[in-house]
Structure 1
Amino acid sequence: MTDTFGAHLDRLAAAAPDRPAITCEGVVVTREQLRRKTNRLAHAYAKHGVGHDDFVTIALPNGIEFLESTIAVWKLGATPQPVSARLPAGELQEIVQLAKPALVVGTKIDGWPWLPAGFEPETPDDPLAAPAASCWKAPTSGGSTGRPKLIVATQPAEADLITPFAGLLGISGDSTMLTTGPLHHNGPFMTSAAGLLAGAHVVVMPKFDAETALLLIDRQRADWMYAVPTMMHRIWRLPPPTRDRYSVNSLRVVMHMAAPCPGWLKEAWIDWLGAGRVHELYAGTEAQAITVIRGDEWLRHRGSVGRPVLGEIQVLNEAGEQAKLGEVGKIWMRRGENVAPPYRYLGATATSRPGGWETLGDLGYLDSDGYLYLTDRETDMILVGGSNVYPAEIEAAIDSHPAVLSSCVIGLPDPDLGNTPHALVQLATDVPDAELLEHLAKRLGGYKLPRSFERVDHPLRDDGGKVRRSALRAERLPPQ
């Protein structure tokens, strides 16, 4: 019989009780300390009514407490349902109404049992005997509609089902992995969970900062790092003397995901670290299929996100037929013929077609070797005078300007062309529109050039690399 997550982590603690399990802001928790604290929390959560297969909403900041709470939930055979600790009250209320959790940890929601951040249980630390949760995680997503939904993983919280994922990521029991992203996002949550279950030492950043990330790699001798292109861009924009101040020789794997990576940026990282250390993973939180590519493969298939290592992928044109090689179409995924999806939605319905195929709305194409290339998401595409324009392509070109810190491109109505690209830019130094356009004209076709620019004084993407494009567009549309 396979171990539950909780039992497996307890076995790791028994084998090496003094090994570090989690570090955050200089505080180190050993495997034995983690075992005892999560047992106490689990007893406390049980007293508050949490039982097998209940949801527990975790609204805690990045840090040790977040992971302790998650493990305690698993030890009760319940399902952690992570959310941002900074969510507006209305949005959090919508999510809680969907999840109907037995307990909310980290914030008060009227009408629901809750425990505050920093809660210290006065309960025993003896182990609990609980079956594995039927669903091991239930993260949220706003998706293209802006309405929250839960993506409930239907795999049970059994170690043998999840630990192989650590191997796929390049995480071993000897790894020290740097978690740079928000744990309520699926990528950092999934990779941190896989790392803990593999026996790795997980170093968590409360909030991403480019120079601090390099400092932690140097001091902790981290050999594995989670990244999104936004983080890679911020690190690369550090002055070279700052970047060179820290040793990154310990890194074996930088695994980036969550958003398309501009080719110029990926190539810069490959030149800096070496092709064998820069890896990319493409998948949705739904994980119908997963692709992975290493830097040396990428140099042979520039722009690709790899070939499927799990599941199947096809690209269909607007007529629903197989797209030609190199032809952009909608990406459809499945685990296999007659294989059920590895998730279920709460608050949404999957877009599907016969044969078990599903799409997340991503657009792309395949080459003759079966490598997948992303162009953009269908809902983000801008139709300019009948031509398809992909914001991600324009943003990659804008971000390659040395003064640009972040950018976002949206489509705004135009009486002649229907829509035209509008670029929001965060700049390190003032740059006139003419210079930005000259820079872009060398990299993009004329119909793709932004017709207008708007300066902002804040990052346009969050620490997870996400941008609320639909909200930015809605704010700039004329009143109806």
Structure 2
Amino acid sequence: MDAYHRRSLGAMLRHWADVAAERPAIGVVDGRSHTFGSWFRRSSRIACGLDDLGIGAGDTVGFIGKDAVVWGEVLVAASYVRAAGVPFNWRLSRREMSETVADAAPSVTVVESAFLPLVGHDDPGDGVTRVLVGDAAPIAYDVWVEGLRGFELEVTSEPGDVAMIVYTSGTSGQAKGVELPNRAIAANIGSSAPWDIKPGDTVMIPAPLFHVSGTGWLFYCLGIGAEALYTTDIKPSAVLDVLAGGAVDHALTVPAVVHMLVSHPDARGREYPNLRTLIYGGSPMAPTTARDAMTIFGCDLVQSYGMTETCGPITFLTPNDHRAGGARLAAAGRAVPGVELVIADPVDGAVCPPGVTGEVRTRSALIMSGYRNQPDELAEVLTPDGWFRTGDAGYVDDDGYLYLCDRIKDMIVSGGENIYPVEVENVLLEHPQVLEAAVIGVPDEKWGETVKAVVVVRGSLDPGELTAFCRERLAHYKCPTSIDLRDELPRNPSGKILKRELRKVYWSQHPRSIA
């Protein structure tokens, strides 16, 4: 596919509908599926409905759910009218969802039945996905689509149009809507990668759609002409069944899931005839897990490092790197061709020499266009000459391999989920007995890191009560799994809490203070 056909998601789907209409395009294991042709017809119809509602450039269309086929229909339909698709995180609490939806301000939102309470509607319990248009009562999604006129809209998207907005927790405690334009998506698809994904291949994607990895692989497969096959059940036995069935050529995952797969008693007694690549991210993989995965699955391993703001990977650890093993497995890899990456002094921006730790910065066409409604946040992370400040601390060796050491920002990564401590701290401080709170990430064998809160309270307080308090207000994966009560928190002379001191006791036996 040339650059012209990669100019928007709508243009990509139109291309494959023209050249490979009957080829499988997107599906959910044991659920819906589309060929490129049927996907194009469905998204075209929805696009007409959006157009009839006056939705266009600068508007947003939301989705709350797990069904990647429905999301694919909605996302591409939005592209046809130059609107941005927004996959909301269904794991949020109702309060968090309300704040995020208010920021995104979708003109239309498609919601799976189980998640209707998150937006103020009762769940009828019938499993029927609804569409919300303005203040009107929820309408059955399929009924709504079938009532729309069928017509092929002309694709007029521009490179700078925002195609998708992905919300990620903010260091200020407010969710940030990362705006990903068509040009960044096109750059992602057009970049060189250490795998051989071809038109007609099938890529299994167990990642949630509200992550850039989940929807990123949707648009990557669409650009390549491969089938995106989603699994909503991450049980090891179910994933192994799909891989052993022979329908999957490549699979996306995180190290925690790979560990569960290779540890499953049935993993070694099966064949995985067509699996060629296992692609993972979120953290390095333990050498024993990597060796077991290559032995059991007989496939290549690729690690990718990137973030929502970079619209995908900025470094790769290749199959050859994994086969070589050793200390290199602790690296995040080398920069993707076309992506600039430097280690900079976080204060003055001076480039650090190999082996010296500083802030990881990157510059390329992959970078987001901004944070929705938060221009000041963008100014903090993007330098005037276009370098994105990742907030990660690391160094590069003499061969250009990046090693991550810590986080300049205090973000916690637990099981592939990004958690910002200040968001949890703000909720803890809402409790009338909590005087001070500090949240840190501590080692966890299964998830890499888990959330710990260290708090100073007034009087006596059962930590379990505080955990329940958080669970009523936050997505459960953000809530502390342990809470320590202290008389005081360590601070520097200016009064700033010394989280490094809090973390030290838990990370002292680890080579780095990041999972």
- Taking the TM superposition and a 5 Å limit, the aligned residue runs for 1:111-130 are 113=134, 118-120=141-143, 121=145, 122-130=147-155
**Amino acid across the alignment from 2:66:** P
Give the alignment partner of residue 359 of structure 1, picking from 389, 397, 400: 389
Task: Provide the C-alpha distance between the structure 2 equivalents of 1:259 and 1:467, rounded to a whole number of angstroms.
Answer: 17
Match of 1:448 in 2: none
Tell me, which stretches of 5 or more residues in structure 1 are unaligned? 383-390, 415-453
Task: Provide the C-alpha distance between the structure 1 equivalents of 2:139 and 2:256, rounded to a whole number of angstroms.
Answer: 32
On the 8 A contact 1:229/1:260 being kept in 2, the answer is yes
Task: Provide the C-alpha distance between the structure 2 equivalents of 1:167 and 1:125, rounded to a whole number of angstroms.
Answer: 38
**Amino acid across the alignment from 1:28:** S
Match of 1:330 in 2: 359
> SS at the partner of 1:174?
coil
Match of 1:314 in 2: 342
Task: Provide the C-alpha distance between the structure 1 equivalents of 2:448 and 2:342, rounded to a whole number of angstroms.
Answer: 32
Give the alignment partner of residue 373 of structure 1, picking from 381, 403, 422: 403
Match of 1:18 in 2: 22
On the 8 A contact 1:63/1:205 being kept in 2, the answer is no
Deviations 1:132-188 (A, max 9, x none): 151221111014444200110133498x65532486654221211101110111011
Task: Provide the C-alpha distance between the structure 1 equivalents of 2:234 and 2:105, rounded to a whole number of angstroms.
Answer: 31
Task: Provide the C-alpha distance between the structure 2 equivalents of 1:206 and 1:43, rounded to a whole number of angstroms.
Answer: 29
Match of 2:164 in 1: 137
Answering whether residue 241 of structure 2 is matched by residue 236 of structure 1, we say no
Match of 1:201 in 2: 227
Give the alignment partner of residue 272 of structure 1, picking from 296, 304, 310: 296
Cα pair distance change 1:131/1:318, threshold 3 Å: closer
**Greater Cα shift, 114-123 or 288-297:** 114-123
**Amino acid across the alignment from 2:480:** L
Answering whether residue 59 of structure 2 is matched by residue 54 of structure 1, we say yes
Match of 1:153 in 2: 180
Cα pair distance change 1:206/1:318, threshold 3 Å: closer
Match of 1:87 in 2: 92
> SS at the partner of 1:359?
strand
Task: Provide the C-alpha distance between the structure 2 equivalents of 1:252 and 1:295, rounded to a whole number of angstroms.
Answer: 11
Task: Provide the C-alpha distance between the structure 1 equivalents of 2:33 and 2:383, rounded to a whole number of angstroms.
Answer: 49
Cα pair distance change 1:280/1:157, threshold 3 Å: closer
Match of 2:307 in 1: 284
Task: Provide the C-alpha distance between the structure 2 equivalents of 1:45 and 1:376, rounded to a whole number of angstroms.
Answer: 45
On the 8 A contact 1:23/1:64 being kept in 2, the answer is yes
On the 8 A contact 2:187/2:366 being kept in 1, the answer is no
Cα pair distance change 1:227/1:15, threshold 3 Å: same
Give the TM-score normalised by structure 2: 0.70
**Amino acid across the alignment from 1:101:** P
Tell me, which stretches of 5 or more residues in structure 2 are unaligned? 121-131, 413-439, 457-466, 489-515
CA RMSD between the two structures = 3.6
Cα pair distance change 1:125/1:46, threshold 3 Å: same
Task: Provide the C-alpha distance between the structure 1 equivalents of 2:171 and 2:263, rounded to a whole number of angstroms.
Answer: 30
Answering whether residue 275 of structure 2 is matched by residue 251 of structure 1, we say yes
**Amino acid across the alignment from 1:277:** D
Aligned pair count reads 410
On the 8 A contact 1:48/1:103 being kept in 2, the answer is no
Match of 1:472 in 2: 480
**Greater Cα shift, 318-327 or 7-16:** 318-327
- Taking the TM superposition and a 5 Å limit, the aligned residue runs for 1:149-188 are 149-156=176-183, 161=187, 163-165=189-191, 170-188=196-214
On the 8 A contact 2:454/2:486 being kept in 1, the answer is no
Give the alignment partner of residue 77 of structure 2, picking from 72, 87, 98: 72
Task: Provide the C-alpha distance between the structure 2 equivalents of 1:119 and 1:374, rounded to a whole number of angstroms.
Answer: 46
Cα pair distance change 1:258/1:343, threshold 3 Å: farther
Match of 1:450 in 2: none
On the 8 A contact 1:304/1:373 being kept in 2, the answer is yes
**Amino acid across the alignment from 1:236:** V
Match of 2:496 in 1: none
Match of 1:419 in 2: none
> SS at the partner of 2:182?
coil
On the 8 A contact 1:166/1:195 being kept in 2, the answer is no
Give the TM-score normalised by structure 1: 0.74
Cα pair distance change 1:353/1:89, threshold 3 Å: same
On the 8 A contact 2:357/2:394 being kept in 1, the answer is yes
Q: CA deviation at 1:195?
A: 0.2
Task: Provide the C-alpha distance between the structure 1 equivalents of 2:263 and 2:167, rounded to a whole number of angstroms.
Answer: 31
**Amino acid across the alignment from 2:357:** V
- Taking the TM superposition and a 5 Å limit, the aligned residue runs for 1:454-473 are 468=478, 471-472=479-480
**Amino acid across the alignment from 2:290:** K
Q: CA deviation at 1:243?
A: 0.9
Q: CA deviation at 1:116?
A: 5.3
Task: Provide the C-alpha distance between the structure 2 equivalents of 1:157 and 1:316, rounded to a whole number of angstroms.
Answer: 24
On the 8 A contact 1:166/1:198 being kept in 2, the answer is no
> SS at the partner of 2:90?
coil
Match of 2:419 in 1: none
Deviations 1:169-222 (A, max 9, x none): 542212111011101110111112110222111211123222211211222521
Task: Provide the C-alpha distance between the structure 2 equivalents of 1:137 and 1:283, rounded to a whole number of angstroms.
Answer: 17
